[in-house]
Amino acid sequence: MCLIIHQPEEHTTPIELLRSAAEYNPDGFGFMGFDAFGKLRIERSANADVALATRLAEEFAGRNCAFHFRRRTRGSSHVENLHPFKIAPGLYLMHNGTAKVEIRQAGRSDTWHLVHDYLAPFLSSRRKLIYDRAFRHILDAWLGPQNRIVFLDEAEGRIELLHRADGYDWNGLWLSNTRWVDRSLLSLAGHDGVYRATEASFC
């Protein structure tokens, strides 16, 4: 169980939202995004580091980036299970959900296995497939709508959302779910975005 917050260009992520995400998802923090010069930035922390998240939110205000707060379900809280995961040089992934994959290595999460055993061998030499409609349809069908994935492609300077429609648009941001965050924060300022707080949200 986790929460991903995608911040497109020209938008900012409220500090209150980051604090709530950290409170509900205390087992790790990750960040990926592009700075004002288009340079990639990756950060990871073994706990929900609100101070780091706040600094990044301020530094990357108006920039294309994504935050990941982890609530551990499978796998240890060791660094190997922190998001974002590197699929290939310049290609990264954040995941919210539980992937139905074989767990062959104790202590490693389902996301670790999804990346290392399935996606990396396939996408490392075919990275453009993340933009291919047929491939995305197959990946959608395999993982199911309860799994939300965010890809970052450094070469293209792009962040791509898988199962975007199953997340939540709010004030220009995209949240992978509303279950693992204080919903009252979202309802206070939801007039600018599409927010469905009463709907169930699965991780």
**Mean pLDDT throughout 75-89?**
80
User: Per DSSP, what are the bridge partners of residue 91?
Assistant: 88, 153
Is the predicted pLDDT of residue 190 greater than 80, yes or no? Answer: no
**Mean pLDDT throughout 31-53?**
95
Phi and psi at 130, nearest 5°, equal -65, -15
- Please give the model's pTM, rounded to 2 decimal places: 0.89
At residue 77, the pLDDT reads 53
At residue 189, the pLDDT reads 47
Contact indicator for 21, 195 with CB cutoff of 8 Å: no
At residue 163, the pLDDT reads 86
Q: How far is CA 54 from CA 19, 60, 127, 130, in A?
A: 9, 10, 31, 30
